[in-house]
Amino acid sequence: MRYLATLSFLMLMFVGAIAQDKSAAELKNEGNDALKAKDYKTALSLYEQAIASWEEEEMDAAMVYNTATCARKIKDYDKAVKYFTQSVELDYKADISTYYIASSLDKQDKEDEMVEVLVDGIEKYSTSKYVGHMKKMLATYYVKQSNALYTEGQTILNTRTADNNDQWDSIKEKAKVVFDKAADFANKALEVQPTNANAKTILAGIETMLAS
C-alpha cells in the first residue's frame, strides 16, 4: 500500500511538472476545448493558469471574458466579478460584462454594490442592446424594496382596532411615512422602466390606502 501511495504521488508530481511546462497559449487552447465541451470547471482552471503565466504585452481579453463566463457557469461569483471586471477594464464586451458583474453581485446579496454597477452601466452603455436587461434588473430591485415597505405600511394601518380608534390619525401618519418611502422606490423603478406594472400597482395601492 505504501508503494502504491508513493507511486501515485510521483505520478501526480509528473503530471504537475508537465502542466508547468505548458505555455500560456497551450493552456488557453486547452481551456477553449474544455469550454466548448462545457467542462467549465476544467476550463476555468486552465484559463487561470494561462492568465498567471501570460507573458505577452497585452492580455488576451477574450480569454479573460471566457474565464469570467466559466466562473459564472459554476456559480463561483467572486471569480466571476473579478474576471468580468477585468474584461471591462480591457474594454472587451464591457456592456454585457457589466450586466454579469451586477448579476453576480445580486447572487451574493450585495445589493448596494449591484445598484451602483447598474446605475453606472445604464448611463455608460445607454445605446447597448443589453441596457434593457440592466434596467429590468434595477427596476426589479426597486420594486422589491417598494413592495416590502408597502407591506410594512399596510401592517401599520392594520393595527387600528375599535379600542384604539381614537389614535387613527397617528396610525395613519406613521403609515404614511413608510408609504412615502415605498413610493420613492416605486418612482425610481418607473424612472428606469416606465412601463413597470408592479410599480404602478404599488403607487395606486398607496393612494387607495391613504385615502381610506
Give the residue from 68, 62, 152, 72 showing the smallest Cα distance to 108. Answer: 72
Residue position matching grid coordinates 505504501 = 2
pLDDT of residue 163: 77
The span from the first CA to the last CA of the chain, in angstroms, equals 81
Q: Which triple of cell numbers denotes residue 42?
A: 476544467
Taking residues 54-80, report their average pLDDT: 96
pLDDT of residue 158: 87
CA dihedral 68, 72, 78, 80 (to 10 degrees): 20
pLDDT of residue 115: 98
Q: Where residue 194 falls among pLDDT bands split at 50, 70, 90?
A: very high
User: What whole-number distance in Å separates Cα of residue 132 and Cα of residue 127?
Assistant: 10
Tell me what percent of the residues of the chain surpass a pLDDT of 70. Answer: 90
pLDDT of residue 166: 77
Taking residues 140-160, report their average pLDDT: 94
User: What whole-number distance in Å separates Cα of residue 206 and Cα of residue 173?
Assistant: 13
Neighbouring C-beta atoms of residue 7, cutoff 10 Å: 10
Q: Helices 24-36 and 40-52, interaxial angle, to 10°?
A: 160
Give the residue from 154, 148, 145, 187 showing the smallest Cα distance to 172. Answer: 154
H helices present in the chain, as ranges? 2-21, 24-36, 40-52, 61-73, 77-89, 94-107, 111-124, 131-157, 168-192, 197-211
pLDDT tens, residue by residue, 157-191: 888 787 787 788 888 999 999 999 999 999 999 99
Whole-model pTM: value is 0.85
**Long-range contacts, 8-17 (Cβ 8 Å, 24+):** none
User: What whole-number distance in Å separates Cα of residue 189 and Cα of residue 142?
Assistant: 5
CA dihedral 195, 201, 206, 207 (to 10 degrees): 80
Give the residue from 21, 23, 44 showing the smallest Cα distance to 32. Answer: 44
